[in-house]
Structure 1
Amino acid sequence: MATNENRQRKASRYVVPVAVAGVAAATIGLVPALAASGDPDLPEITAQQLIEKIAASDTQTLSGTFKISTDLGLPSFAGLLPAAPSGSSSADPADKLTQLVSGSHTLRLAADGPDRQKLTLLDGSDEYSLVHNGNDVWAYDSKSNEVFHEKADGKGPKPEDTKLPGTPKELADEVLKAAGDTTSITVGGTAKVAGRDAYQLVIKPKQSGSMVESVKISVDASTGTPLKFTLASVDGGKPVVDAGFTKVDFGKPEASAFDFKAPKGAKVTEGAAEKGAHEGADKPFGGLGDLAGLGGFGAGPDGKDGSVNVIGEGWTTIAKLDSGTPAPKTDEAPKEVQGFLDALGDKVSGKFGSGTVFKTKLVNALMTDDGKVYVGAVTPQKLVDTANAAK
């Protein structure tokens, strides 16, 4: 169970850096409209030129409203999550922002340079606000009338510490080179997004066996700021993640937008500063790049003793973990947990033996009865084929 200290992670980790605010909001994802007669007539542009345009974007100020909807195809977690430990705050971003991984939500965003950002999550008449202003990070949950406060330590990565290509063109070249034979990157027409003209960048796997059908990013034609994005699954139906700006203004927000004063009678919890570097602390969204390549697992040579062996490349990369112990039997789990696992899992068998595939619309995992685990953003059949080939 998570400790109080772990739950009181740095709130500053969850504040979107302004220089990439548009990118971050877009990377949560919204399905761009299909080409229609109302789409803007813009000058032709290549995929490389559009990537260069994104890289050259220097959006420092903006305000707007965007919507997020996520659908991983998971059954309800109701009744499965443990209660928050005594002494924790309902306003702690480490817990509150996990709401964004399911359902539909409306947010308001304001940003003014790297030191001032505000995000407000609207839920009916209730609001949850996260404010970064200078050295302070505040979070307020109106439903519980609780406040979470922490000092920003300024220990994030510095621009000079980040090794990137020197120009937008060089960056675009590197992106296209990295895509290589596994990825198709094209421009898929234009669209109106939040009242602005936008190009659509379409990214698709060339490899078979990936759960990703496509990634689409709508890019503001004037500023190069991504405005919305979709991640669609080969399973079809609703996008895995669907979000994007419905209103956006690139003007400078009023300074008062970032002021915060704890409401009268509110319970204020001071966050405990973490000791040492926290893995992924410099990645506001948990390091999405690592998910694509599974590069953050620290692969071992054979996947034993808790280390991970990475199999394959690109969109069909699979991580193999050998726990060294037989898989737990779901029929021995508590009734409510057993129902949840049964809704997720399918029994499978092959040369590897037998096991269970736990499914979502994006990431699937095969747990064999002898304790091996194969996981990746690939189809269940790809997992079974990989397990068979390992024999």
Structure 2
Amino acid sequence: MAPNDSAQTTEEAKDLAAGRRRAARYIVPAAVAGVAAATIGLVPALAASGDPDLPKISAQELIEKMAASDTQQLSGTVKINTDLGIPSLGGLAGLGGERDGSGSSASPDGKLMELATGSHTLRVAADGPDKGKVSILEDTAEYSLIHNGDEVWAYDSASNEAYHAKDGRQDDGSGRKGSGKEHGALPKDLPSTPKEFAAEALEAADDTTSVTVGGTAQVAGRDAYQLVIKPKQSGSTIGSIKVAVDAKNGVPLKFTLTPSSGGKAAIDVGFTKVDFSKPDASTFDFTPPKGAKVTEADELKQDKGAKDHEGFKGHEDFMGLEGFQGLNVIGKGWNAIAKIETPGGQHPTTPKDGDVPPEAKKFLDALGDQVNGKFGSGTVFKTRLVNALMTDDGTVYVGAVTKDALVKAANEAK
């Protein structure tokens, strides 16, 4: 049976919006969100054994089921494959501290950037909001990020380097938890599981969005409903989003984003194996191996602050981005475009060719298309999802919209 539901009435639409907000609050298991914080895409090579026959359910009911899910314990394997139409980011990961010798190969910010492209396998585990682990499995090595109480460890077996930080979100002794910003222990706002991707999609949903139930599926051996999210507007680079929701506990098991241009999914996140029982406590224990180089987050932060300008010597044109004159949003919903004015009309991303690191130049050249219009001339940097028009007079237009939509916005702004 493939449940489906038609357009909602006005009252139903209001209820649906309220459900989305609740889902966005509760949908992400805190432990995995806090520890994983890592990838732009997860993909399944998931075997389906036919669509299960499940009772009919409306989109509103399915969203409420997701919001009501209190599952905070799980372990499993997630397959990742991301095709955003951009070059591999592996060569860019070292442009920060590693380049001037001040960094650590175990630092999450650099290592997790590699997950933005290509195929990867992750092993994940979570036990409540303060215990979580994500391991990136490679051919001959493994990278693990572990959160256990107020301790955060990362370990790269390839280099035998470890990274250690205190999680500032823990209780500070006054009965309150910090913001998590004190030590910069974990990357922020980077989803890495189907739940987290679904939360982002639902939070962005509004009256420009169609949300329906589009059948059933089986993911990692579990029966699931398919929640389908689509833009009602034309001009978006996003065609549709499908979230496979566990029929029993409401946990998203798979997230698939297909671009409006067609072809295979740009982002596909899914479990190949999943177990919702309590992981063994030892899963979250970590002691650096003998001989491992250990970098403390506070030391790395201080070193980075002292070397920032030295590390980017010769690349001054990349500096000063905090001086944007302002940011305006054009349009709404899936077609929203951010317009950013740069100081003095200086293009923020076009330093002299000789000043650009080779990896960065290769990356930018692969993305750019020259365009002209009433606004003048500029370059559109494109991916399968997010595009940006950078005009020669220093204005930036960026959004999950087509190149034509960006050029139109720039012309109308003149």
**TM-score of the superposed pair, with normalisation by structure 1:** 0.76
CA separation of 1:216 and 1:24: change in aligned 2, threshold 3 A: farther
Q: What amino acid does structure 2 have at the position aligned with 1:372?
A: T
Q: What amino acid does structure 2 have at the position aligned with 1:51?
A: I
CA separation of 1:25 and 1:39: change in aligned 2, threshold 3 A: farther
70, 73, 80: which one pairs with 1:61?
A: 73
CA deviation map 1:157-179 (0-9, x unaligned): 69xxxxxxxxxxxxxxxx99984
What secondary structure is seen at the aligned counterpart in 2 of 1:365? strand
1:133 matched to 2:144: no
What secondary structure is seen at the aligned counterpart in 1 of 2:53? coil
Question: What does 1:224-303 align with in structure 2 at a 5 Å threshold?
Answer: 224-272=250-298
- Separation in 1 of the partners of 2:100 and 2:365? 28
1:333 matched to 2:353: yes
CA deviation map 1:239-275 (0-9, x unaligned): 2212210000000111111111111111111221899
Q: What amino acid does structure 2 have at the position aligned with 1:322?
A: E
Is the contact between residue 346 and residue 393 of structure 2 (CA under 8 Å) also seen in structure 1?
yes
Which region of structure 1 is more displaced relative to structure 2, 75-84 or 180-189? 75-84
- Separation in 2 of the partners of 1:243 and 1:140? 24
1:196 matched to 2:209: no
Q: Which 5+ residue runs of structure 2 have no aligned equivalent?
A: 1-27, 171-176, 181-200, 302-322
Structure 2 residue aligned with 1:294: none
Structure 2 residue aligned with 1:373: 396
- Separation in 2 of the partners of 1:108 and 1:266? 22
Which region of structure 1 is more displaced relative to structure 2, 133-142 or 327-336? 327-336
- Separation in 2 of the partners of 1:32 and 1:48? 29
Is the contact between residue 84 and residue 385 of structure 2 (CA under 8 Å) also seen in structure 1?
yes
The structure with the largest helix share of the pair is 2
- Separation in 1 of the partners of 2:50 and 2:38? 24
Structure 2 residue aligned with 1:357: 380
Structure 2 residue aligned with 1:18: 31
What secondary structure is seen at the aligned counterpart in 2 of 1:272? helix
Question: What does 1:100-115 align with in structure 2 at a 5 Å threshold?
Answer: 100-115=115-130
Question: What does 1:79-118 align with in structure 2 at a 5 Å threshold?
Answer: 82=95, 83-118=98-133
Q: What amino acid does structure 2 have at the position aligned with 1:149?
A: H
Is the contact between residue 182 and residue 206 of structure 1 (CA under 8 Å) also seen in structure 2?
yes
- Separation in 2 of the partners of 1:361 and 1:177? 21
Is the contact between residue 76 and residue 125 of structure 2 (CA under 8 Å) also seen in structure 1?
yes
Root-mean-square deviation (CA, aligned residues, Å) is 3.2
Is the contact between residue 31 and residue 239 of structure 1 (CA under 8 Å) also seen in structure 2?
no
Structure 2 residue aligned with 1:217: 243
Structure 2 residue aligned with 1:51: 63
What secondary structure is seen at the aligned counterpart in 2 of 1:97? helix
Cα offset for 1:338?
4.8
CA deviation map 1:311-331 (0-9, x unaligned): 110000011112232547969
**TM-score of the superposed pair, with normalisation by structure 2:** 0.72
What secondary structure is seen at the aligned counterpart in 2 of 1:137? strand
Q: What amino acid does structure 2 have at the position aligned with 1:343?
A: A
What secondary structure is seen at the aligned counterpart in 2 of 1:256? helix
Aligned residues: 332
1:119 matched to 2:134: yes
- Separation in 1 of the partners of 2:203 and 2:157? 48
- Separation in 1 of the partners of 2:87 and 2:258? 19
- Separation in 1 of the partners of 2:159 and 2:34? 28
1:315 matched to 2:341: no
CA separation of 1:274 and 1:225: change in aligned 2, threshold 3 A: farther
- Separation in 2 of the partners of 1:24 and 1:198? 25
CA separation of 1:156 and 1:43: change in aligned 2, threshold 3 A: farther
Which region of structure 1 is more displaced relative to structure 2, 214-223 or 130-139? 130-139
- Separation in 2 of the partners of 1:305 and 1:147? 36
CA separation of 1:31 and 1:64: change in aligned 2, threshold 3 A: closer
Structure 2 residue aligned with 1:285: none
- Separation in 2 of the partners of 1:24 and 1:53? 24
CA separation of 1:59 and 1:28: change in aligned 2, threshold 3 A: farther
Is the contact between residue 61 and residue 251 of structure 1 (CA under 8 Å) also seen in structure 2?
yes
CA separation of 1:273 and 1:55: change in aligned 2, threshold 3 A: farther
Is the contact between residue 186 and residue 201 of structure 1 (CA under 8 Å) also seen in structure 2?
yes
| Residue identity (%) | 61
What secondary structure is seen at the aligned counterpart in 2 of 1:362? coil
Which region of structure 1 is more displaced relative to structure 2, 231-240 or 354-363? 231-240
Cα offset for 1:385?
0.7
Cα offset for 1:229?
0.1
CA separation of 1:33 and 1:26: change in aligned 2, threshold 3 A: farther
- Separation in 1 of the partners of 2:36 and 2:163? 27
- Separation in 2 of the partners of 1:305 and 1:144? 39
Is the contact between residue 29 and residue 231 of structure 1 (CA under 8 Å) also seen in structure 2?
no
Structure 2 residue aligned with 1:299: none
CA deviation map 1:191-233 (0-9, x unaligned): 0100000001010000111111111111000000011101111
- Separation in 2 of the partners of 1:37 and 1:119? 28
Cα offset for 1:22?
12
